[in-house]
Chain A
C-alpha cells in the first residue's frame, strides 16, 4: 500500500488530502471536506493530466512569437517532451487561433494549436 499527500486545488481552502493506493488503485481519500476533493485526488493519483502552454516563433508575422497550447490535457509526465518537441518549431504567418502547429506532440496523440491570431506582415 502506498500513501500520497496532496493539496486540493478545488477552492481556496486547500485541504490537505491523503490518498492510499494499492497496485495503482485508490483505496481511500481522506482530508477532503467536499466531494470535489475526493474526485481531484483520485484523478491526480491515477492519471494526472495538464494543459501545456508555451510559445513558438513566427516567420513573416507582425509579431515574433505565437502562443500555443495542447489542444486537450496530456499526461503530466509528458509536459517536458511536449515542450521539447516544439524547440525548433516555427509557424508561418498568418496564424489563426486553433491552427495546428504540431500534430501528435511527443506521441501523446494531442495536437499543439495556436491560441493567438498573428497577421502576416
Chain B
C-alpha cells in the first residue's frame, strides 16, 4: 500500500492552503486527492472579483485567487491527483480512492485533512410545492453552466434566496443577456453582503423582496412561472399576498451544507448546527490525526478565512505527523510513551444568540499564543457586545455595531487567559445587549 504522511481530501482553497502550510511546517510526503479535473475547487466558477483582500491585500477574481495557491503548491512540489474520488476513509486512516487511470486503490495516511467543501441545499430540502419541470437550478449549478461552459440555463429568471451566490448569479445572468425579475428572501434580512446587494441587484434595478418565498412552481415540461408570497414571522406564507411571476427559470440560493458523508462514514462526530466535524483547537476531529478545515468544517463567507483556517490545519497536521513519528521512535528506544500529558480541556459553549463555535474544545497546553474562535449569531443584532466567560467569569467584552447571521464573527483568546486551569472548564460565548 502507498504511504503518505498527509493525505488531503479536496484540492479547493482549503486543501491547497493546508498542503502549502503543511509543507512549510516540514511535512514531506503530502498528497492532495481532487475529484474535479483541475485544482481550485469552487473558485474556478466564481469568476467575480472580491477575493483576497485579507490574504493578498488586493482584489482578485476566484480563478486568480486559486491560481496563487496552485502556483505555491507547484513550487513546493506537492503531489496531487485529479479526477480522483475518495470512496472511503477508515478509522486507521486508510484512504480508498478511485480514478480512471489508477482504478481503485488504497493509501495509508499518517494524518488526513478533510477539505471536501460543501454542497447547496436543494429544492427538495425546502419542500417548495408545485411541478418538477426543467429550469429549476441551484445557483451554483447555474454558475457552473454559465461561467465554465458558456451555456445559459434560462432567459427569464426568478431567484429564491439572497445568499451571495444568488446575488452574484443575478448579476451574471443579467450581463449574459437574461432578465432577472426578482430575488426573494424568506428571512427579513439578506444573507448576502451589502456590497453584493448594491452591486448585483441595485445596479441593475433587480428588486429584492425580503420575507417572501416561492409557494408554487408551474410548468409541466419547463418552468412557466412561479408564485411568490409574503411570509409571517414564522416563515409561513400569508394567504392573499400571492403574486405570479412568469419565468422559465428558478434559481435557488438557499444555503450551503458541509459535505461530510466521508467523515460521517468514518465515524467523525458532527456538530448538528454546522453539519461539520466537532474540532479542537488544532482543528482536529475526535478521531486523532484527522483534521478538518474550510467549508467542510463550517460554511465561510470569505475564502480568505478558509485559507487562514486551512493553513492552521495543515501546520497542525504536520506537527501531528512529526510528533507521532517521534513518539514511535521513543517507544522503540525507551519502551515508554513520550506522549503529551493530558491537560484540563476547555469546552466552548455557544449561548444567547451565538449558534456555534469553531473550535468546540481547547486544550490550553496545546493552543498557540492566541486562539481564534469563529462563530455565527442567529439573528441581526445592533449595538451589542460579545461576552466571553470562563467558568462564569467574564474574560472578554467586545463591542459590535452590528452582527448578522450572514457574517462570520471571531474573537481571540490568549493562552494566558486559559492558563493554570486544574480541572475541565467551560468557556461561554454570548451576545449581550448594550
Whether A and B touch (Cβ < 8 Å) is answered with yes
Residues of A bordering B, CB below 8 Å = 6-14, 33, 50-55, 57, 63-65, 67, 69, 76, 79-80, 83, 97, 115-117
Given contacts A54-B175, A69-B61, contact A13 B203 (CB under 8 A): no
Residue of B whose beta carbon sits closest to that of A70: B49
Query: With A54-B47, A115-B64, A116-B63 in contact, is A9–B198 under 8 Å at CB?
Result: yes
| Chain B residues closer than 8 Å to A11, beta-carbon distance | 194, 401-402
Are A8 and B203 interface neighbours, CB within 8 A? no
Residues from chain A with Cβ under 8 Å of B149 in the complex: 64-65
Q: How far is the CB of A112 from chain B (nearest CB, A)?
A: 12
A3 to B406, CA, bound (A): 31
8 A Cβ contacts from B134-150 to A: 146-150
Q: Which of B147, B199, B203 contacts A67 (CB 8 A)?
A: B147
Least Cβ–Cβ distance between A34 and chain B, in angstroms: 9
Contact A69 B175 (CB under 8 A): no
Inter-subunit contact A67/B47 (CB<8 Å): yes
Q: List 20 A-B contacts (CB under 8 A).
A: A7-B194, A9-B199, A11-B194, A11-B402, A12-B407, A50-B199, A52-B175, A53-B61, A54-B172, A54-B175, A64-B150, A65-B147, A65-B149, A69-B47, A69-B49, A79-B203, A80-B175, A115-B47, A116-B63, A116-B64
Asked if A55 contacts B194 (CB within 8 A), the reply is no
* 7 nearest A-B residue pairs (beta carbon): A67-B47, A116-B63, A9-B195, A115-B61, A14-B194, A13-B402, A65-B150
Taking the complex as formed, is B202 at the interface, i.e. its CB lies under 8 A from any CB of chain A? yes
B104-126 interface code vs A (CB 8 A; 1 in, 0 out): 00000000000000000000000
Pick from B49, B62, B172: contact of A51, CB under 8 Å: B49
Measured CA separation A65–B44 after assembly (Å): 11
Instruction: Please tell me if B59 contacts chain A, counting CB pairs below 8 Å.
Output: yes
Roughly how many angstroms separate A79 CA and B175 CA in the complex, as a whole number? 9
CA distance A73 to B208 in the complex (A): 25
Q: Given A11-B194, A51-B49 in contact, is the A115-B150 Cβ separation under 8 Å?
A: no
In whole Å, how far is A16's beta carbon from the nearest beta carbon of chain B? 11
**Cα-based distance from A64 to B44 in the complex (angstroms):** 13
Give the residue of A7, A64, A116 whose beta carbon is less than 8 angstroms from that of B198. Answer: A7
Find B150's partner among A6, A55, A76 (CB 8 Å cutoff).
A55
- Knowing A53-B49, A55-B47, A115-B47 touch, does A67 contact B63 (C-beta < 8 A)? yes
Which residues of chain A have C-beta atoms less than 8 A from B150's C-beta? Answer: 55, 57, 64-65
- A53 B47 Cβ-Cβ under 8 A: yes
**A54, chain B: closest CB distance, angstroms:** 6
* Chain B residues, Cβ within 8 Å of A69: 47, 49, 61
Closest to A34 in B: B401
Across the interface, B63 reaches (CB within 8 A) one of A13, A14, A80, A115, namely A115
Q: Kindly list chain A residues whose C-beta atoms are within 8 Å of the C-beta of B193.
A: 9, 12
- Nearest B residue (CB) for A13: B402
Q: Contacts A9-B194, A67-B62, A116-B63 given; 17 further ones with Cβ under 8 A?
A: A9-B193, A11-B401, A12-B404, A12-B406, A50-B203, A53-B48, A63-B148, A64-B148, A65-B147, A65-B149, A65-B150, A67-B47, A79-B175, A97-B67, A115-B61, A115-B64, A116-B64
Q: Roughly how many angstroms separate A52 CA and B62 CA in the complex, as a whole number?
A: 14
